[in-house]
Structure 1
């Protein structure tokens, strides 16, 4: 099977050969645009599972950054290539479930996907990956009883064990342990040659919503499983701070963490224009650039803004985009998404301080502050330990960033807009001035960014010019040195051939040469060839034809003066012969 991860034109992917074993939430697969680096990285990581060298990884990023879309496409590529790697997708959802319920659900969905992989029947994989559809282990056993499936006996044994275990009253954590061990247990069964790639979506909900009885951190069940090279995990998490903290505390050294970046400008702009056309907007490249800016290149936010809703304007201009943004942060999906993050943090953090700190850092995007700097800038009446606790919680719930002990704003400008829209006390503005400020703030941000990039581009251009001048000089020097060797080889050939002229009287058995013979005054002679009673000194010029005017009589005289000085100092008793060579000739006036 040939490689199916192939980039097409305009940041799109080739789809030929890919069977969509699970539905992708992007909808039409053609609408999946970009994410080149991320998919190529995960594709190589997955391919290395077959070599038993891949470690489990955590693929972390805030909601709407596109994590699930990426792993869904990876799943379908792996399934379609059918090269001995069984993809297993499982999504933890909000809502409390017991460890027993989780065990039944997890094991059943795992084996449904195994059967789907072996039989090439995507009905199994699509049902297993659709978490709005309930699954039943008993019904599943009956349905596969008549199928011809590799390792069917082992599969049925595990399903029967599940049914028996469900009838017992074991501690809830034991069910969690049994569930998480299932994929690696199957992959290590004698005779099973395939490896498993476990794609576990929204990992933070495992601890938040799975009731494991006395064990309040059920993620610990992955302690040994995460190290198994036959079935490594690719987990995602929308609450990056929560997942990162849990991995550090309860699963240390089990996962390599990777932060899913925002889309690059080109990919994000292409996506904006594409969705604009799909939804009937007339989005120009300029408007697309503006939308990309106000969403910080976050793909889900771009879709939120361009998705039509009742009362929301069609988009063609930046003003339309501003009105669509205001709709979304006022009553749309963007508001509801950020409300969840804010609610989690505000359960533990003083509301006023939380809003002020978060807004301040959003407002000063790209700048970083130590706690003492924030305390001074905001005149916070908090002791240092309390301030650090609140900052740690804000970071844990992904409302602010942390780097090297300093805090900064998140890279999603829509959070700032939600704070502005719903917590006007932060701004201290009269109601009548708020709407104008809201709109102008986005445009000013955008223009400021354009100016910054222009200044950066000019600075980069200047650096590039300097670099090019240096490289051009080095290149010209190399060309000159190469021509010097050409001249030297020509002289040596003339000596060997006995052709006379400049080399007349120099014996083949008695000559030596030096390239770039330096004089004490810092000047140099390009070629010095000594033989018998004769010494030849040559100047070599490799000027382009359009620069031959730079070869002047003065240059020739200066060369002759250098040569005579060297002759007097080093070769006083020999005959001096001078040669002035120009690769492309000289002007007639000389």
Structure 2
């Protein structure tokens, strides 16, 4: 996949998992062609992968080059005059539109203030059928008619789609900021608190549906339900599945060159609650004695991230907490969060909260405080408006207690240490019971080690690593590989398949396609046939002309399997050298 829109994640290889969400939304995007998709909001807290998902969907849609034209816009968390905001929105769309139509990436980098240059580009690329809207926008801008400019900018995506009978996918990130950071006046004194409502009819058009996201879940839901009732479906971004959490740990460990022991991988995934933000924060922690080769080192790093003022996890959670306490800064709010967090496995009524905490306030005052805490995402609404629940997250509980428990009741930081130790023992016991899952971790770890060697060692020690493989072509040499990682078939591809390792090389060099089995059982002919079949599909999908297939099997091979591998020019090895990190 070519990266047309620069992704915030940085190295594109860092994007991990989210296969279920990718499949769902790519199907949702495909249905836009028949005007069947309803505007949707993705809800999840900060740093859980929303922007990465949105930008990857953008690039996949752009690359597909079908009749759906993607548009990505992020609302900045800074005060903006409506006129400036509208101009930025309009230019962002029109430049991405021209880039899509022409397949010229240079348009992403054009100035977002020069109307003449954009009009000339439209004329040059024979897209001047929408020039009249840009001319109208320029006139409104020159006369400082902010409302008119916003009307033109907001409607431009669907009007462009309507003109050519194409479709536009409108992706707007951090949508909740539209009501907080946009102002009617240039001096940014007169905030527009209902600007989201201007989308009331726009978001209903099926030729340009909206996919919005927000990291303040309660805040975004409140705005959508109040100003755009019934217009949006809600989609919650859940934790990563076990296998994707493991893949993320291995991938970040490899790219950041931070060793993680094989038996620590499932424990890290469990303690981090399969949360991509927690996993990346642990791997990239500032903790000077960070060590993931032992349980003790993992727990020490987790405590640093939870309790230390420089912990990334603590810092992010405190953004939510401080916002809530700014709105309702009293001891009652802290007591409520602490009580609900302690009983986070069940829903609690307002009556119980008032009675157990001896709160001498009216029911309406208590309800108001609880709503503020919900909108700040540090408690959750229960199954009714009368019931509430703590955030079901062990790490948030410890962050909040570390900061506020001492001012409410006795608190010993050693309690956190003991709780993490108890939790880690429970997780390890569960991991030992799930032998099949543990086998999966072993396989993933073996893939990680082979990838590490291909990235850093094989090219420097060609003869040594060639001697650890059988059935190599005479002209084979290890190369400097570009992208190296586990390959998943594109979402919606039938049949779905996965190849353990793909190492891309230059056109005249061998790309490597690996099957990795880190187990006691021998590798069979049936498995070899399946590997050959999915490798052929991969080469066709990726346009790979020159490749070498390799099988690593820690348990060895059946005799007839070796005959099959020899016949089909597939290399093989059972040499444990491939499981050693240099």
Superposed displacement of residue 453, structure 1: 9.2
Matched, 1:37 2:20: yes
Root-mean-square deviation over aligned CA pairs: 2.5
What residue number does 2:496 align with?
A: none
Matched, 1:159 2:134: yes
Instruction: Identify the residue that residue 79 of structure 1 maps to in structure 2.
Output: 62
Give the number of the structure whose alpha-carbon radius of gyration is greater. 1
Query: Within the alignment, does 1:359 sit opposite 2:334 as a pair?
Result: no
Q: Partner of 1:550 in structure 2?
A: none
- Kept in 1, the 8 Å contact 2:133–2:152? The answer is no
- Counterpart of 1:443 in structure 2 is 421
How far does residue 391 in structure 1 lie from its aligned partner after superposition?
1.3
| Structure 2 alignment gaps of length 5 or more | 185-189, 436-582
Relative to structure 1, the CA distance from residue 395 to residue 176 in structure 2 (aligned partners, 3 Å threshold; closer, same or farther) is: same
Alpha-carbon distance, 1:110 to partner: 0.1
The residue number in structure 1 matching 2:403 is 422
- Range 354-363 or range 102-111, more displaced: 354-363
Shift of residue 355, structure 1, vs aligned partner: 2.2
Is the alpha carbon distance of 1:440 and 1:93 closer, same or farther for their aligned partners in structure 2, counting shifts above 3 Å? same
| Cα distance in 2 between the residues matched to 1:313 and 1:453 | 23
Structure 2 counterpart of 1:138: 115
Q: What is aligned with 1:50?
A: 33
How far does residue 448 in structure 1 lie from its aligned partner after superposition? 4.8
Residues 283-332 of structure 1, C-alpha deviations (whole Å, 9 max, x = no match)? 23442333323332210221011114363523322322232233333213
Q: Deviations over 1:387-410 (max 9, x none)?
A: 222111111111111231232222
Distance 1:208 1:45, change over 3 A: same
Aligned mates of 1:360, 1:439 — CA distance in 2 = 20
CA distance in 1 between partners of 2:403 and 2:191 (Å): 40
Deviation at 1:84, TM superposition (A): 0.8
**In the alignment, is the contact (CA less than 8 A) between 2:324 and 2:372 conserved in 1?**
yes
Shift of the alpha carbon at 1:33? 1.7
1:245 is displaced (CA, Å) by: 1.0
Q: Which residue does 1:294 correspond to in 2?
A: 271
Aligned residue among 328, 346, 368 for 1:389:
368
Cα distance in 1 for partners of 2:319, 2:90 equals 30
> How much has 1:215 moved relative to structure 2?
4.5
1:284 aligns with 2:261: yes
Query: For the residues of structure 1 that align with 2:285 and 2:372, how far apart are their CA atoms?
Result: 35
Name which of 195, 201, 225 aligns with 1:224.
201
Q: Equivalent residue of 1:248, what SS?
A: helix
* Per-residue deviation, 1:145: 5.8
Alignment of 1:145-544 (within 5 A): 147-149=124-126, 152-170=127-145, 172-189=146-163, 192-212=164-184, 215-309=192-286, 311=288, 313-329=290-306, 330=308, 331-405=310-384, 406-425=387-406, 428-429=409-410, 433-434=412-413, 436-448=414-426
What SS does structure 2 have at the residue aligned with 1:347? Answer: helix
Structure 1's 175 and 319: CA in aligned 2 closer, same or farther, altered over 3 A? Answer: farther
Q: Deviations over 1:29-77 (max 9, x none)?
A: 2222211111111011000000111110111111122111111111111
Which piece of structure 1 moves more, 221-230 or 335-344?
335-344
CA distance in 2, matches of 1:110, 1:363: 47
The Cα shift of 1:203 comes to 0.4
> 1:423 is paired with a residue of what secondary structure?
helix
Please say if residues 61 and 239 of structure 1, whose CA atoms lie closer than 8 Å, have aligned partners that are also in contact.
Answer: yes
Indicate conservation of the 8 Å contact 1:361/1:409, yes or no. yes
Task: Give the TM-score, by structure 1 length.
Answer: 0.67
1:470 equivalent in structure 2: none
What is the TM-score with the length of structure 2 in the denominator? 0.68
Q: Which residue matches 1:553?
A: none
Return the alpha-carbon distance in structure 1 between the equivalents of residues 331 and 214 of structure 2: 28
Q: Is the 8 A contact 1:108 1:159 kept in 2?
A: no
Unpaired runs of 5+ residues, structure 1, are: 1-17, 129-133, 458-590
C-alpha spacing 1:295/1:426, structure 2 compared with 1 (3 Å): farther
C-alpha deviations, 1:336-374, integer Å up to 9, x for none?
322221122112224322222223333333222122223
Contact 1:24 1:69 in 2 (8 A): yes
> Secondary structure of 1:87's match?
strand
C-alpha separation in 1, matches of 2:246 and 2:166: 40
Contact 2:49-2:276 within 8 A present in 1 as well: yes
Counterpart contact for 1:39–1:70, Cα < 8 Å = yes
Q: Is the 8 A contact 1:183 1:196 kept in 2?
A: yes
Say if 1:377 and 1:445 are closer, same or farther in 2 by CA, change over 3 A. Answer: farther
CA contact (8 A) 1:19 1:79 kept: no
CA distance in 2, matches of 1:447, 1:378: 33
Bigger CA drift: 20-29 or 35-44?
A: 20-29
1:243-281 deviation per Cα after TM superposition (whole angstroms, max 9, x unaligned): 111111111111111111111222112211221232222
Whole-angstrom CA distance in 1 between matches of 2:122 and 2:35: 32
**Which deviations, in whole Å up to 9, do the C-alpha atoms of 1:147-168 show, x marking residues without a partner?**
324xx21333222222211111
Q: 1:499-529 CA distances to partner (integer Å, 9 max, x unpaired)?
A: xxxxxxxxxxxxxxxxxxxxxxxxxxxxxxx
Distance in 2, matches of 1:135 and 1:293, equals 45
Distance 2:40 2:162 in 1: 20
SS of the equivalent of 1:407 reads strand
Which deviates the most, 281-290 or 444-453? Answer: 444-453
**1:463-508 Cα shifts (integer Å, max 9, x gaps):** xxxxxxxxxxxxxxxxxxxxxxxxxxxxxxxxxxxxxxxxxxxxxx
Per-residue CA deviations over 1:533-568 (Å, capped at 9, x if unaligned) read: xxxxxxxxxxxxxxxxxxxxxxxxxxxxxxxxxxxx
Measured after TM superposition, the shift of residue 452 of structure 1 is 8.2
Alignment size in residue pairs: 426
| Contact 1:355/1:426 (8 A) holds in 2 | no
1:95 counterpart residue number: 78
